[in-house]
Structure formats: structure tokens, C-alpha cells
Amino acid sequence: MSVSIAIVGTGPAGFYAADALLKQDADYRIDLIDRLPTPYGLIRFGVAPDHQTTKNVSNSFERTAARDEVCFLGNVEIGRDVSLDELRGLFDAVILAVGAGADRALGIPGEDKRGVIGSAAFVGWYNAHPDLRGLDPPLGTEAAVVIGHGNVAIDVARVLVKTPGEMADSDLPDYAGAAIRASAITDVYLVGRRGPIQAKFTNKELREMGRLENAVALADPAQLPADVGDLEDERERRIKPKILATLKEFAEHQPDEKPKRVRFQFFAQPVEVLGGESVEGVRFERTKLEDGRAVGAGEFYDIKCGLVIPAVGYRSDPVPGAPFDDKRGIVVNEDGRVGDGLYAVGWIKRGPTGVIATNRPDGVVVAKHVAADFPEGSKPGRETLMVLLQERGVRAVSFDDWKTIERAEIEAATPPAPRRKLATIDEMLAVLGQD
């Protein structure tokens, strides 16, 4: 009997796991399950709408989904439509690939004020994630503060200040485009708690900030060291001088060169979000580095703003029925093994770090585990799940259905935009002739 495998989550980690399983010399039937009618997870909802070439990896995922051994089941939520225990009863192996969709908290007073919106939520909003269609971020403010110096912080700042012309070949949804166009934001502060050498963004993303039509990137020369100093890591010795050189270019820019400004600030950690019910500013404490860590230096300053976007990393939500390490925000696992026939890959396994391809090795590891644990299958898998879903009135979305949704999005787009994303599940099901 073939081995039945359910992969929960169809972002890069889920698809790379399916790829790795298909490379085994084994008789597998793989179901890729997603709670949304759309596949590809962070490729669709995380990668910035103006970075379309990064999304091309979905072409190879599409070839995987088209394989005879593979079936996509969208609009099926584990924990709502079928429990994890039920799934484990139906499939020989279950692989969790649900990613990290929630925001890490800053843990400072005031962060629950209106106008503090975590980057996961904000990125989901401008990427037409159905959960975030109604977010309505307060953009009627002149200044926004983005906290964190990773690539997500850069994405957020760039999307906030790019012109409609610069976004024309993106798949930014109409509602987000209209809100950003109408926004009063002229200054975006990008504040990091450590220095220019410790910042986590990459030079390619940083350099793009220096080439924006309407916004000038600024850095304070007093915060930039003459050189990168001694770096142990060979990769860092290559990369960091380039980042420093880019920031030095920004330090020569003038604030009034363009109508908007993106201000890089270093060595400052947020200690309080200021205001009443809504955000009116952020109080920062200047920092110094001790053993590479930022520690408060006892000197404070405020930035007035009406929008704060902490971009300080994501965390996974617990998966009901799977052991969860709340501190690390991941499923408890040993090299991808969670329990009998239960495995994890990607950000739910190891936390929210790395680029898309970083998830590939997780798939290879888990495929080896599955091959070792299941030379033969004994559980019915797909057909029995489909019966159960039908009994429960769940409208599972097939890959053909998804292609119908995708076609509708492409046909509705105004070139050069690649697609006009449907932003609610109802709209997607309506395209399929369902309510």
C-alpha cells in the first residue's frame, strides 16, 4: 500500500518537503493542505508585491503540484475542519509546514495602542491576505516608525513611500494602493537597536532604498564607523563593507532632495509607545554594544508619529494537538521529528529566519525520516479525508480550482500589474461558482 502523507501548509517549506519526498524511490501519495484557497504561503502573502521575480519560485512549486502523486487541498483548516489527531489517524505521516504568521511582541508599555501594527499584519494587508483585508492602518500621519533592521522592515518602508508608478508592475491590491496614495506620510524612521554592522538587512534591499523616485534615504554620518572592523565570519567580511558603503552614500543625501524621507537610525531601542488610545510617538533609549548585544545607555529621545510598525520578527501560532515551545514560538521537535508519524519543516520547526531556499534542507531531512519510518503505508489518506470533509460541508479547493482563481486574477489585472489579487475567500469561491 502506498504511504499516505499530509503536508499542512503550502508555503515554500511545504512544497520543498513535497519535492524531497518525490525524489525518494518510494510509493507516496502526498496531500498538500492549506487553510486558504490559494497555495504558496509567504510567496503570495510575504514576499513584497514589488519583488515579483522572487515569486517566480512558485513556477517550480506548480510543477510539483501537477504531479500525479500530489493533490492540493485548499480551504481546509486543521483545527477547524479536521483535527490534527484525525489527520494523524488518516495519514501515515503528517508534516507541519504552517510557517510563522504572527508578530513577535516588543514587550514594552503602550504597544497595544491603536496605530501599532506588527509587520506580519501590515505585510499581510498590503499583500491581500484574506485575514487582513479589514486592517485599515492609520496612514493619515506624517511620520511612521518602523522598528527593526531586517529585510521585512525595509520592505515595509519601501512600500510606504514608493510612488504608484513605481508600484505599477506590482500586485499591490487596489485598496492598499489607494490608501498608500492618500497617505500623509512624508517621513519613515527605520530604527535599529544595534549598529550598521549588526543590521540584518541585505545590501541589495538597502541599495534599492537609495534609488526611490520620491523618497530620499538618509543616515547620520556620526553613526557610521570608518570601517567594519574585525569580523570573524568570512561571509560577513564580504557583505558588511558593502552595506556600510551604501549607508555612507545615504549619509551624503540631503533631507530636502525629495518630498519624502526614509531615515535610518541606529543604536536605539524602543522603551515605550506614547499617546492616549492612539499612538502619538515612540520613546527610544540610546544603546551601546556589549558583547554584540544592545544595552541601554540611559539617554532617551522621542519620535512623534501616528503609525508604528514593529518589524522585529515573526512567531508561529501553536498548532492544536502538537507540542509547542511557547518561548521559542516553534513546535517542539528533534531535527524535524515531533511525534509518531508527525514532523515539522520550515519556520514552525526552526523559527523565522533565512530566505526562501533556506527551507529546502528541512524537506530533505524530513523525507529521510519518512522513508526510514514508513517503508510501507497502512492508512487510507486522501479518499477518507475527502469523505470526512464532504460530511462536514467543507468546500475543499483543488489545484484546478486554484488555477481558475489565478486566471481570474490575471485577467482582471491592468498591465503591467501581473494580477489583481482577490482579497477575500468569498470572492475566491465566487469565482468557482460557490458561496
The residues binding ligand NAP (CB under 6 A) are 106, 147-153, 155, 192-194, 198, 200, 205, 269, 294, 311-314, 352-355
Shortest reach from residue 86's CB to ligand NAP, in Å: 33
Question: Which DSSP string do the residues of 189-242 spell out, in sequence order?
Answer: EEE-SS-TTT--S-HHHHHHHTT-SSEEEEE-GGGS-SS----S-HHHHHHHHH
Which residue bears the cell 526611490? 212
- Closest contact distance (angstroms) between CB of 311 and ligand NAP is 5
Phi, then psi, of 172 in degrees rounded to 5: -55, 125
User: In whole angstroms, what is the distance from residue 46 CA to residue 155 CA?
Assistant: 10
Q: Residue with C-alpha cell 532604498?
A: 209
Q: What is the nearest approach in angstroms of ligand NAP to the Cβ of residue 5? A: 27
Q: Could you tell me whether strands 215-219 and 260-265 are parallel, antiparallel, or unpaired per DSSP bridges?
A: parallel
Closer to ligand NAP at the Cβ: 266 or 402?
266
* Cell output for 176: 492598499
Query: Of 78 and 120, which has the nearer Cβ to ligand NAP?
Result: 120
Residues sharing a CB contact under 8 Å with residue 410, sequence separation 6 or more, in sequence order? 418, 419
Residue 279 in grid coordinates: 499612538
Name the minimum Å distance from CB 395 to ligand NAP: 32
Q: How far apart are CA 120 and CA 309, in angstroms?
A: 9
Residue nearer to ligand NAP on the CB measure, 11 or 74: 11
127/269 with CB nearer ligand NAP: 269
The burial of 9, by beta-carbon neighbours within 10 Å (0-12 exposed, 13-18 middle, 19 or more buried), is given as buried
Name the DSSP letter for residue 397: B
Grid cell of 373 as nine digits: 519510518
How far is residue 165's CA from residue 171's CA, in Å, rounded to a whole number?
13
Are 30 and 95 spatial neighbours (Cβ–Cβ below 8 Å)? Answer: no
Q: Smaller CB distance to ligand NAP: residue 57 or 430?
A: 57
Minimal CB distance residue for ligand NAP: 150
- Residue pair 98/362 in contact by the 8 Å Cβ criterion: no
Compute the least distance from the CB of residue 296 to ligand NAP, in Å: 11
DSSP 3-state assignment of 77? coil
Q: Of 313 and 341, which CB lies nearer to ligand NAP in the complex structure?
A: 313
Report, in Å, the least distance between residue 358 CB and ligand NAP.
7
Report yes or no: 104 and 312 within 8 Å, Cβ to Cβ: yes
Q: In terms of CB distance, is 46 or 130 closer to ligand NAP?
A: 46
Q: How far is the CB of 421 from ligand NAP (least distance, A)?
A: 19
Q: Tell me whether residue 44 or residue 193 sits nearer to ligand NAP (CB atom).
A: 193
Closer residue to ligand NAP in complex, CB, 153/331: 153
Shortest spacing between CB 192 and ligand NAP, in angstroms = 5
Give the CA angle between residues 160, 119, 177 to the nearest 5°.
35
CB of 60: closest distance to ligand NAP in angstroms?
Answer: 18
